Chain A
């Protein structure tokens, strides 16, 4: 799996994503069910950190966020 596939899987898969939006440093994601989010797997996929607040999960991936978000959208 490439990075985008790993991150999507760790967020609980395409069905769990409400919205995914890139910022300069992170993917801002809203999920249906935050219990399906696997922080360990996100870090294993290369995330520098994960900041969760309810169903909003910010995956810190650095400046490649826009490229990764496009790749994830292509998978969905």
Chain B
């Protein structure tokens, strides 16, 4: 069994997925994990929570697959697909290899919130068993690149 540290993509406050205002994430339909309620400090850079290949890249969400096949989804805000990429600047391309902590997307959580959407960021261990995610970070403040949770797989 390996332990995969999954990092916080942005600075903010750690919250349980159950608090995310979207049933797909709150009910862990795509997998367990944690969410970060981002600091509202203007333009911010979301970083890669793990090292691996960028297998899916939308302006508002991305999936990184590690060398041994673990997929981690980072979703910047809720219902942000409706923004059609406006306000999101990508720094990598689909298929790129990224290191943990590398800049992926520049965005503005406060602007997302001002538009009436939650900027909360679910970070999901895709296809993971519910009990395989260990919450390392208690609910509270987290720095970008700090360990958010550990995935035993």
Note all chain A residues with C-beta closer than 8 A to B24: 25-26, 49, 51, 58, 60
Which of B35-43, B55-63, B85-93, B108-116 sits within the interface?
B55-63
B83 to chain A, nearest CB (A): 12
For chain B, the count of residues having a C-beta within 8 Å of the partner chain is 19
Cβ-based interface call for B73 (8 A): yes
0/1 interface trace, chain B 57-72, chain A, CB 8 Å (1 if under) = 0101111000000010
0/1 interface trace, chain A 7-27, chain B, CB 8 Å (1 if under) = 000000000000001011110
B136 to chain A, nearest CB (A): 24
| Docked pose: A49 CA to B8 CA in angstroms | 27
Q: Please tell me if the beta carbons of A25 and B30 are within 8 angstroms of each other in the complex.
A: yes
| Docked pose: A25 CA to B27 CA in angstroms | 13
Q: Please tell me if the beta carbons of A62 and B30 are within 8 angstroms of each other in the complex.
A: yes
Using known A-B contacts A24-B56, A48-B30, determine if residue A62 contacts B23 with beta carbons closer than 8 Å: no
Q: Please tell me if the beta carbons of A63 and B29 are within 8 angstroms of each other in the complex.
A: no
CB < 8 Å: which of A23, A24, A51, A66 contacts B23?
Answer: A51
Which chain A residue lies CB-closest to B74?
A24
CB < 8 Å: which of A26, A28, A49, A63 contacts B126?
Answer: A63
| Docked pose: A66 CA to B58 CA in angstroms | 10
Note all chain B residues with C-beta closer than 8 A to A25: 24-25, 29-30, 61, 73, 75
